[in-house]
């Protein structure tokens, strides 16, 4: 039985994404250091983005015979050209979603990093257990 390289890679990627989700959630909830929580949060966001890209993935129509890449070369394409373009190009929406999510993630991460800095200034530690103790 020949090993199907596509389904093998698909399985590996899926497993990796779900492992990553589990590890990052563990990091956010169980690690005491705020910096590590934020790192875990960015890993979670990146995993979600990878998942979105994976959903938008489209296999090359024929692996042995590469077709021409999906690029529109004429200014006013006819119906057939558009049809061919749409049948080979990748779904752009997940990429737009990921772009938006990355920008939002940047803002949130920056804000959380600032808060961590402020916590360090006020409490002298970034360990949530010590912070909770100092807060009383």
Partner 1 sequence: MSEALYVYQSVGVLVPLLGGAAFALPLFTLVIKRKVFYDAYTAFFSLVALVLASYNYVLVRAEGKPLLYAFGGWPPPLGISYEVDEFSAVLGVLTASVMFLIVAYSLWYTRFMRGYEWYYTLLLGLETGLLGCLYTGDVFNLFVMLEVLSISAYALVAFYRSRPQAVEAAMKYGIIGATATTIYFIALVFIYGALGTLNMADIALKSRLITAGVGPISPFSNGLFGNAFIAASLAIALSLWAFTYKAALFPNHFWLPDAHPEAPTPVSAALSGLVVNVGVYAVVRFLYTLFGPKSFLISFRDAVMWALLVLGIASGLVGALLMAVQSDVKRLLAYSTVSHIGLIFMGLSIGTSSVSEDVATLGLTAALYHTVNHSVGKALLFMGVGVFINLLGTRDLDKLSGSGKLSPLVMGAVIVGFLQLMGAPPLGGFFSKLLLYQSLIEAGLIVPAVLVIAISAVSILGYLKVIYGLWAKPLKEAPKQVAGMAVPKTVVLVMAVACIALGVLSPMVTGLLAGSINASFTDSGVRDYVNSFMSFAIYVVKYLGGG
Q: Which residues are at the interface with partner 1 (CB under 8 A)?
A: 21, 25, 28, 34, 37-38, 41, 44-45, 48, 51-52, 55, 93-94, 97, 100-101, 104-105, 107-108, 111-112, 115-116, 118-119, 122-123, 131-132, 134-135
CB of 115 to partner 1, least distance (A): 5
68/79 with CB nearer partner 1: 79
Which runs of consecutive H residues, i.e. helices, occur in the chain?
A: 5-30, 34-55, 79-88, 93-123, 128-135
Q: How far is CA 61 from CA 13, 14, 64, 81, 85, in A?
A: 20, 21, 9, 17, 12
16/122 with CB nearer partner 1: 122
35/84 with CB nearer partner 1: 35
Q: Is 88 exposed, middle or buried (0-12, 13-18, 19+ CB in 10 A)?
A: middle
């Amino acid at each position: 039985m020949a090993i199907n390289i596509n389904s093998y890679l698909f399985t590996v990627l899926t497993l990796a994404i779900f492992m990553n989700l589990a590890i990052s959630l563990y990091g956010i909830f169980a690690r005491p250091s705020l910096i590590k929580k934020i790192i875990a949060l960015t890993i979670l966001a990146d995993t979600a983005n990878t998942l979105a890209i994976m959903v938008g993935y489209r296999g090359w129509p024929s692996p042995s015979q590469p077709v021409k890449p999906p690029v529109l070369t004429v200014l006013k394409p006819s119906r057939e050209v558009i049809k061919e373009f749409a049948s080979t190009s990748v779904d752009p929406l997940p990429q737009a979603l990921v772009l938006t999510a990355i920008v939002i993630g940047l803002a949130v991460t920056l804000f959380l990093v600032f808060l961590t800095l402020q916590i360090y200034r006020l409490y002298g530690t970034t360990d949530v257990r010590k912070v909770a103790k100092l807060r009383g």
